């Protein structure tokens, strides 16, 4: 089962970003199989989507910015060197991790090393999002940057997609602002804990539903969006 926080109801404050990621990962998960490495796995929220995987191994880095309590990490690594033999995985999945890697090229070298020739890599990264897991939030990558980084390491791009669109991204960021900034500060001033519940349980769900109803009428533009999704394979 995917944790409900990663496949949330429309009342959830992260509904649009989480639903977009879930839908894209679900679509491309069928491309990955065999012995699969979840790089930066955390709680392994998408493991059940990879039905073609014969073995699912999660690796993560135990450092500042992220608490791994109650997660399902199989192996911790040192931030650079993966503790696996060369060409030991048929596929690699990594979601919302690359922005936290200060030494991304070195990590890509390691992903390339442990992935078999012809193996596939599925990754997602945020584009429009607030700072998170501070202080280890280092970058935002466009699809062009990701394509360049991957082709330099010997990968061939199969597909690149954007999750979300301009107005949807603005709406999602506004909801995050309501929850993380405005709601918190007003609640401190009013000293009313019920205010938090009203925003979380009434205002945010209402705004999400209203946006769902009006979204078809907004002109679409994908020049500003929530996430980038890339599927690539390692050249033989």
Distances in whole angstroms, Cα of residue 51 to Cα of each of 29, 114, 155, 223: 8, 21, 24, 33
Contact in structure between 98 and 141 (CB atoms under 8 Å): yes
The values of phi and psi at residue 78, to 5°, are -85, 5
Mean pLDDT of 42-71: 88
131 CB-side CA count, 13 A = 7
Q: What is the per-residue pLDDT for 69? A: 76
Write out the H or E segment, with its range, that includes residue 171. helix 166-177
Phi, psi of 198 (to 5 degrees): -65, -40
**185 compared with 112, residue with greater pLDDT:** 112
Does position 82 have pLDDT exceeding 80, yes or no? yes
Residue 147, preceding bond cis, omega within 30 degrees?
Answer: no
- Angle, helix 143-152 to helix 104-114, in steps of 10 degrees: 50
Q: What is the pLDDT of residue 63?
A: 72
pLDDT, one tens digit per residue, over 199-216 is 777 889 999 999 999 999
On the question of pLDDT at 228 being above 90, the answer is yes
Which residues touch 11 (CB under 8 Å, ≥6 apart)?
201, 204, 205, 208
Least confident range from 25-34, 61-70, 170-179: namely 61-70
Higher pLDDT, residue 56 or 178 = 56
Query: What local confidence, expressed as pLDDT, does residue 111 receive?
Result: 98
- Give the containing element (helix H, strand E) for 157: strand 155-163
- pLDDT at 40 (0 to 100): 95
The pLDDT value recorded for residue 188 is 57
Write out pLDDT tens, residues 9-37. 999 999 999 999 999 999 999 999 999 99
Does the domain at 15-165+222-234 match CATH 3.30.960.10? Answer given as no
Q: CA-to-CA distance for 47 and 99, rounded, in angstroms?
A: 21
Report the percentage of the chain scoring pLDDT > 70.
89
Q: Which two tokens stand for residue 9?
A: 């109801």
pLDDT of residue 99: 97
> Is the predicted pLDDT of residue 100 greater than 70, yes or no?
yes
Render pLDDT for 115-161 as a digit per residue (tens, 0 to 9): 999 999 999 999 999 999 999 999 999 999 999 999 999 999 999 99
């Amino acid at each position: 089962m995917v944790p409900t926080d990663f496949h949330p109801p429309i009342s959830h404050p992260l509904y649009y970003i989480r639903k977009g990621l879930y839908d894209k990962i679900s679509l491309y998960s069928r491309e990955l199989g065999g012995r699969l490495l979840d790089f930066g796995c955390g709680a392994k929220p998408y493991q059940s989507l990879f039905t073609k995987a014969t073995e699912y191994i999660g690796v993560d880095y135990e450092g500042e910015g992220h608490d791994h309590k109650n997660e399902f990490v199989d192996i911790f690594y040192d931030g650079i060197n993966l503790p696996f033999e060369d060409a030991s995985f048929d596929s690699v999945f990594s979601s919302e991790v690359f922005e936290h890697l200060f030494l991304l090229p070195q990590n890509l070298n390691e992903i390339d090393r442990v992935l078999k020739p012809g193996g596939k890599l599925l990754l997602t990264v945020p584009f429009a999002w607030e700072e998170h897991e501070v202080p280890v939030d280092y970058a935002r990558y466009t699809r062009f940057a990701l394509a360049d980084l991957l082709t330099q390491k010997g990968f061939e791009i199969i597909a690149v997609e954007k999750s979300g669109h301009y107005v949807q991204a603005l709406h999602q960021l506004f909801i995050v602002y309501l929850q993380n900034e405005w709601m918190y500060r007003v609640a401190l001033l009013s000293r009313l804990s019920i205010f938090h519940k009203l925003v979380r349980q009434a205002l945010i769900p209402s705004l999400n539903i209203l946006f769902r109803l009006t979204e078809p009428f907004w002109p679409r533009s994908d020049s500003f969006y929530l996430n980038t999704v890339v599927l690539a394979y390692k050249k033989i």
